[in-house]
Chain A
Amino acid sequence: EAAVTQSPRNKVAVTGGKVTLSCNQTNNHNNMYWYRQDTGHGLRLIHYSYGAGSTEKGDIPDGYKASRPSQENFSLILELATPSQTSVYFCASGDIGGANEQYFGPGTRLTVL
């Protein structure tokens, strides 16, 4: 089973500050994803990646950037954090071809004051 870890697990940031959320997966999956979870919305896709060096916009990319420097690592970057970005962020990995089951990390709770 895929192992996906996230850091930090909790973060408090100030409005206008820069925040970087990190994700690491050890199952050699090609695809990685960043979602946010808010009450009443379920999980929504922010950015995803097909592999090292690639990033693609998801359904709600505004205010976020992503970076995929290696197969294992995928970061989500908030250059200028805003209170509306207060949420729980989940990273996931998966692979295309056959069963593309996605496996999720434990989540990062971000509060922007």
Chain B
Amino acid sequence: GDQVEQSPSALSLHEGTGSALRCNFTTTMRAVQWFQQNSRGSLINLFYLASGTKENGRLKSTFNSKESYSTLHIRDAQLEDSGTYFCAAESGGSNAKLTFGKGTKLSVKS
């Protein structure tokens, strides 16, 4: 099975509301990254976490390596938040390979 399971696969929000995206890992991961893929296809770095919680504006992310999950919370959603959100987990070792989830497609509507 997949090492990184991302949910939900799709999400629709009205402007001003919020929700949480989640990634579960089937093996122990050293760190996690969250990306937004915009309409042009570019991958925008949102967070890198080796543990704990980080916050940036309306976004907050948590990584719990012991319980093998990470979350991305979006609050006060705006139209520009639309896109596909990916988590990617870093396994141990010197190569620091990333294993990606399949993404959450977020649509924010007015």
- Looking at B55-63, B67-75, B88-96, the stretch in contact with chain A turns out to be B88-96
Q: Are B100 and A42 in contact (CB under 8 A)?
A: yes
Question: Known: A100-B90, A103-B45, A106-B41. Contact between A45 and B98, CB under 8 A?
Answer: yes
Complex-state Cα separation, A44 to B50, whole angstroms: 21
**In angstroms, how far is the closest chain A Cβ from the Cβ of B35?**
8
From the candidates A59, A101, A106, name the one contacting B48 in the complex (CB within 8 A): A101
Q: Are B98 and A107 in contact (CB under 8 A)?
A: no
Complex-state Cα separation, A101 to B31, whole angstroms: 9
Asked whether B24 is an interface residue with its Cβ less than 8 Å from the other chain, the reply is: no
Complex-state Cα separation, A41 to B86, whole angstroms: 11
Q: How large is the interface on B (under 10, 10 to 19, 20 to 34, 35 or more residues)?
A: 20 to 34
Q: Are A42 and B94 in contact (CB under 8 A)?
A: no
Name which residue of chain A comes closest to B102, CB basis. A42
**In angstroms, how far is the closest chain A Cβ from the Cβ of B88?**
7
Question: Known: A103-B45, A107-B41. Contact between A96 and B101, CB under 8 A?
Answer: no
Question: Known: A58-B97, A96-B94, A101-B33. Contact between A40 and B102, CB under 8 A?
Answer: yes
Question: Known: A42-B103, A43-B100, A48-B95. Contact between A106 and B90, CB under 8 A?
Answer: no
Q: Are B102 and A96 in contact (CB under 8 A)?
A: no
Interfacial residues, chain B to chain A (CB-CB below 8 A): 31, 33, 35, 40-43, 45, 48, 50, 86, 88, 90, 94-103
